[in-house]
A and B are shown apart, each in its own frame.
Chain A
Amino acid sequence: MPTVSKGDGMRGLAVFISDIRNCKSKEAEVKRINKELANIRSKFKGDKALDGYSKKKYVCKLLFIFLLGHDIDFGHMEAVNLLSSNKYTEKQIGYLFISVLVNSNSDLIRLINNAIKNDLASRNPTFMNLALHCIANVGSREMAEAQKQICFLTWICSCFQGVVTAATSLITTLAQKSPDDFKTSVCLAVARLSRIVTSASLDLQDYTYYFVAAPWLSVKLLRLLQCYPPPEDAALRSRLTECLETILNKAQEPPKSKKVQHSNAKNAVLFEAIALIIHHDSEPNLLVRACNQLGHFLQHRETNLRYLALESMCTLASSEFSHEAVKTHIETVINALKTERDVSVRQRAVDLLYAMCDRSNSKQIVAEMLSYLETADYSIREEIVLKVAILAEKYAVDYTWYVDTILNLIRIAGDYVSEEVWYRVIQIVINQDDVQGYAAKTVFEALQAPACHENLVKVGGYILGEFGNLIAGDPRSSPLVQFNLLHSKFHLCSVPTRALLLSAYIKFINLFPEVKGTIQDVLRSDSQLRNADVELQQRAVEYLRLSCIASTDILVSKNSAKRASSPSLGFNDALNLNSTPSSGASLLVDVFTDLSNPAPTEGSDEHFTRFVCKNNGVIYENQLLQIGLKSEYRQNLGRIYVFYGNKTSTQFLSFSTSVTSNDLLTPQLNVQVKPVDPLIEAGAQLQQILNIECVSDFSEAPVLNIQFRYGGTLQNITVKLPVMLNKFFQPTEMTSQDFFQRWKQLGAPQQEVQKIFKAKNQMDTDVAKAKLLGFGVALLDGVDPNPANFVGAGIIHTKTTQVGCLLRLEPNTQAQMYRLTLRTSKESVSQRLCELLSEQF
């Protein structure tokens, strides 16, 4: 055990420390410490006032116990008491205890502050010293202001080196906070710096550290100069430049000592000077020299220097003057990346590669970073992934390379690819048409690897769902193959990925009708329909239903985010939330349940009449088949969606339909029938679209013929298609003045048709209103002096002409009769409309 010969021994303390060190186990140590703590506690609480020496000894012991790692919850008061002692050693121990153990939140701060104030006020410099130390290390706000001023003045007129060093630190911190106040310090700093740098080795003896003149002060002055922009005064600027050049020159000279301390000190000044040069960013000559110097260091023997060189070069790379110079070292940096054993140095190399990347070397750098990623430390992978993604996107000349890079990223470090990265790649693929096919192909190939990362499945699922059709031509990537590939990964994925895959499947159904059956089987399986996760179950159910009843057109309009939504059909749409309700009082066809209204059987015309004022409903039903309709009309065009529902548990085979019109009707009305599947599964529904064009006004109706084979027997059904003239009505609003004017204009006998008839149903105003609106006219209020009468106007659109129509319906509730007057510019139109409308009441 070394003997302590200097100063006051405090032998008790030495004994205590030896005891602790001799303890054989942790428990023994704790026991000894507790014994001592109890002893000290009793001494502090005791009646006898402790003398200064004992107090000092005990406080010191407490400090030691604290340093061992145990908490001290008493003794602070005694330490503060020591502060007010007159003896230097006691004060010293008191201050030491305070600075180690007390932080600024303690209650004793006020007492401590008082003690410090007293010491500062005392004339005794040593006491002032201790007090200042405490302030500096513990940091009380009140003392700060006074220090600022004192310090600055001292600095300006001091030639005492040590003080200057200390003061410079303070000035630097203050200059960072309020640079304008300390502008004059720049000039002084440059002066002092040049004195140091150009000094002969005999000056500044005391402050020469291993043959380097005052390294700490030089570094501090250079730091201070970094708080300010390059000096405006030309003389000052040139002096500074001279300084920096001298420093750079010194770096080239042979070393004066073999010791590492010498080179460390010398290089410390050099690095700080380079930092200043980079900060100023104004002298291209200096920047290039700095870059070259750093380039040398990149291959230095010492790891520390290589590390620092890489770090400094990072900042250098962002300056426009030196960017090119930095790029010349790319091979060295890449080599460092591959061969350095120290992970922190490799990390610096990655940062530098990222900083020096631009269009000319992006491919090379990204390739290197990717190969590094394969063996990189796990803690830094996420950062590297992000860097590679950013570089790939920023400098991608053609997007195929970008797609390749990101897919590689996912393959190598899939876990660390955050969501933003793969969202971005999908965003880019969707917006760049020319890369879509390539992306689909690459993703398809990547998915064939036996073990794919889940992120790859997500990206692959999305891209194949959107653009799988681009590669479907090749038999190796036919739709079925694509689907099987995706589905093979299905069970390995987490819930969000599975949800994404289900969406991809419905997109497949849209793109490739031939795999519809296979996919439907998958959706129909219990594992989907009864899946524990609500999201998956909902998607499976809805997609299955959607695939069964919808035609490709609907799916296209609903699924694709790119295309504008087609006019809504008003039935329960699971995906499109912007459905506009159908006009008037028409019924909605409920896709999932049967209608409650009894449907007419074959041959009856009743259904036909029902459809005059409404567009949707069931038009026919028997034991086997239910036919529903949804129609929409615009001007002289119309479209009817016919739904054939198989009510049985047997398939309908050889299903075919046709629409026939008699000779009169054929030129007046064009009906185009879209082809339909010859097979309707049991319980399934088939949809057919009929496009209608009204060429001229007509009074007949086309007939829909249906034929199919059910269980061996051939079925034949005919239904009158409810297409009437009023379907092509466009309601027209007008003022009463206009109305009467036109009414008079249409006064010719053939233009008017009037009918008086008995009301068939109960006379109800609202029902009548609804019927008139359903008929297609606009109801005009305030035209007829009698409020009970109805007045309407509209235009019949045909391909050849447009016929304006005015009507007036006068109910006579007492007699339960109506008088209907119709005036149009064409007799046949008036006739037909009157006929149609009168049947409704």
Chain B
Amino acid sequence: MMQFMLLFSRQGKLRLQKWYVPLSDKERKKISRDLVQTILARKPKMCSFLEWRDLKIVYKRYASLYFCCAVEDQDNELITLEIIHRYVELLDKYFGSVCELDIIFNFEKAYFILDEFLLGGEAQETSKKNVLKAIEQADLLQEEAEAPRSVLEEIGLT
């Protein structure tokens, strides 16, 4: 299972952090600092996987952002790489040619999309279509003033 996911810029600024394990604030800060330094020190042609403490780190750089996931020892690294890619695709579809600024200004949307896709550290919905549909529905709900209709009804599932 994924223990946490961090998004950070080339300068080491954290843009998004999602933790799937309970850790104190201090520990989280320390981990983020250490890991960001380690990853930024790596050269471009290097392998996407590394061992860090007792976890496996899978990371990929998209334009100016590093997407970094920490998974447990028995997890499959390649599939985690594809989780990262899927997430980027979702963001791309939603924001339309996503860039770092989109994530900065709409960080709460980035979180919502991530939550639709990953749950408790595992991928829960792998169909791109369904995730985006769910987000769209959520957006519609925001515009409604009254109690929202059942989302599941709308997609025709109950």
Q: Which chain A residues have a beta carbon within 8 Å of chain B's beta carbons? A: 1-2, 4, 6-8, 14, 17, 21, 60, 63-64, 67, 69, 71, 86-89, 92-93, 96, 100, 103-105, 124-126, 129, 133, 136-139, 160-162, 165-166, 169, 173, 206-207, 209, 214-217, 219-220, 223, 226, 261, 264-265, 267-269, 271-272, 275, 303-304, 306-308, 341-342, 344-345, 347
In the complex, A162→B123 CA distance in Å? Answer: 9
Among A124, A206, A307, contact of B127 (Cβ-Cβ < 8 Å): A206
Contacts of B15 in A (CB 8 A): 67
Within 8 A of A (CB), among B103-147: 104-109, 111-112, 115, 119-120, 122-130, 138-139, 141-145, 147
Contacts of B24 in A (CB 8 A): 103, 105
Contacts of A86 in B (CB 8 A): 147
In the complex, A67→B103 CA distance in Å? Answer: 12
Known contacts: A216-B126, A344-B47. The answer to whether A103 contacts B22 by CB under 8 A is yes
Contacts of B125 in A (CB 8 A): 162, 165-166
Instruction: Check B82 against A207 for contact (C-beta < 8 Å).
Output: no
Q: How distant is A840 from chain B, measured CB to nearest CB, in Å?
A: 81
Among A7, A219, A304, contact of B47 (Cβ-Cβ < 8 Å): A304
Contacts of B99 in A (CB 8 A): 2
Instruction: Check B79 against A216 for contact (C-beta < 8 Å).
Output: yes
Instruction: Check A207 against B126 for contact (C-beta < 8 Å).
Output: yes
Instruction: Check B86 against A209 for contact (C-beta < 8 Å).
Output: yes
Instruction: Check B108 against A60 for contact (C-beta < 8 Å).
Output: yes
In the complex, A223→B126 CA distance in Å? Answer: 17
Among B45, B106, B120, contact of A136 (Cβ-Cβ < 8 Å): B120
In the complex, 30 of the A-B residue pairs with CB atoms within 8 angstroms, ordered by the A residue number, are A1-B105, A2-B105, A7-B109, A8-B142, A8-B143, A21-B104, A64-B107, A89-B141, A96-B108, A100-B17, A100-B18, A103-B25, A125-B151, A137-B115, A137-B120, A166-B123, A206-B130, A207-B127, A215-B126, A264-B85, A265-B79, A265-B82, A268-B76, A271-B78, A303-B47, A306-B47, A308-B49, A308-B77, A308-B78, A344-B50
Contacts of A226 in B (CB 8 A): 74
In the complex, A169→B49 CA distance in Å? Answer: 23
Task: Tell me if B16 counts as interface (CB < 8 A to partner A).
Answer: yes
Instruction: Check B51 against A344 for contact (C-beta < 8 Å).
Output: yes
Instruction: Check A166 against B17 for contact (C-beta < 8 Å).
Output: no
In the complex, A124→B153 CA distance in Å? Answer: 11
Among A88, A166, A308, A341, contact of B122 (Cβ-Cβ < 8 Å): A166
In the complex, A271→B76 CA distance in Å? Answer: 8
Contacts of B81 in A (CB 8 A): 264, 268, 304
Q: How distant is A185 from chain B, measured CB to nearest CB, in Å?
A: 16
Instruction: Check A215 against B108 for contact (C-beta < 8 Å).
Output: no
In the complex, A389→B143 CA distance in Å? Answer: 68
Instruction: Check B112 against A96 for contact (C-beta < 8 Å).
Output: yes
Instruction: Check A166 against B45 for contact (C-beta < 8 Å).
Output: no
Task: Tell me if B1 counts as interface (CB < 8 A to partner A).
Answer: yes
Within 8 A of A (CB), among B2-19: 14-19
Contacts of B122 in A (CB 8 A): 166, 169, 220
Known contacts: A125-B151, A261-B85. The answer to whether A2 contacts B102 by CB under 8 A is yes
Contacts of A215 in B (CB 8 A): 79, 82, 126
Known contacts: A4-B105, A17-B104, A92-B112. The answer to whether A67 contacts B16 by CB under 8 A is yes
In the complex, A100→B17 CA distance in Å? Answer: 8
Contacts of B138 in A (CB 8 A): 7, 88, 92, 126
Instruction: Check B127 against A161 for contact (C-beta < 8 Å).
Output: yes
Task: Tell me if B46 counts as interface (CB < 8 A to partner A).
Answer: yes
Task: Tell me if B20 counts as interface (CB < 8 A to partner A).
Answer: yes
Contacts of B108 in A (CB 8 A): 60, 63, 93, 96
Q: How distant is A41 from chain B, measured CB to nearest CB, in Å?
A: 20
Q: In the complex, which residue of chain A has the Cβ closest to the Cβ of B33? A: A69
Q: In the complex, which residue of chain A has the Cβ closest to the Cβ of B101? A: A2
In the complex, A129→B155 CA distance in Å? Answer: 15
Instruction: Check A272 against B47 for contact (C-beta < 8 Å).
Output: no
Contacts of A89 in B (CB 8 A): 141-142
Contacts of B128 in A (CB 8 A): 206
Q: In the complex, which residue of chain A has the Cβ closest to the Cβ of B56? A: A311
Contacts of A303 in B (CB 8 A): 45-48
Known contacts: A17-B104, A124-B150, A214-B126. The answer to whether A169 contacts B1 by CB under 8 A is yes
Known contacts: A215-B82, A308-B77. The answer to whether A88 contacts B45 by CB under 8 A is no
Q: In the complex, which residue of chain A has the Cβ closest to the Cβ of B123? A: A216
Most A CB within 10 A of own CB, among B24, B108, B128, B150 = B108
Task: Tell me if B63 counts as interface (CB < 8 A to partner A).
Answer: no
Contacts of B23 in A (CB 8 A): 103
Instruction: Check B1 against A173 for contact (C-beta < 8 Å).
Output: yes
Q: In the complex, which residue of chain A has the Cβ closest to the Cβ of B116? A: A133
Among B17, B48, B49, B79, contact of A219 (Cβ-Cβ < 8 Å): B79
Contacts of A69 in B (CB 8 A): 14, 29
Q: How distant is B51 from chain A, measured CB to nearest CB, in Å?
A: 7
Q: How distant is B40 from chain A, measured CB to nearest CB, in Å?
A: 15
Contacts of A341 in B (CB 8 A): 45-46
In the complex, A354→B123 CA distance in Å? Answer: 35
In the complex, A206→B104 CA distance in Å? Answer: 30
Contacts of B104 in A (CB 8 A): 17, 21
Q: In the complex, which residue of chain B has the Cβ closest to the Cβ of A267? A: B78
Q: In the complex, which residue of chain B has the Cβ closest to the Cβ of A344? A: B50
Instruction: Check A162 against B127 for contact (C-beta < 8 Å).
Output: yes
In the complex, A308→B17 CA distance in Å? Answer: 27
Instruction: Check B76 against A165 for contact (C-beta < 8 Å).
Output: no
In the complex, A739→B104 CA distance in Å? Answer: 111
Q: How distant is A2 from chain B, measured CB to nearest CB, in Å?
A: 6
Contacts of A160 in B (CB 8 A): 157
Among B78, B94, B141, contact of A264 (Cβ-Cβ < 8 Å): B78
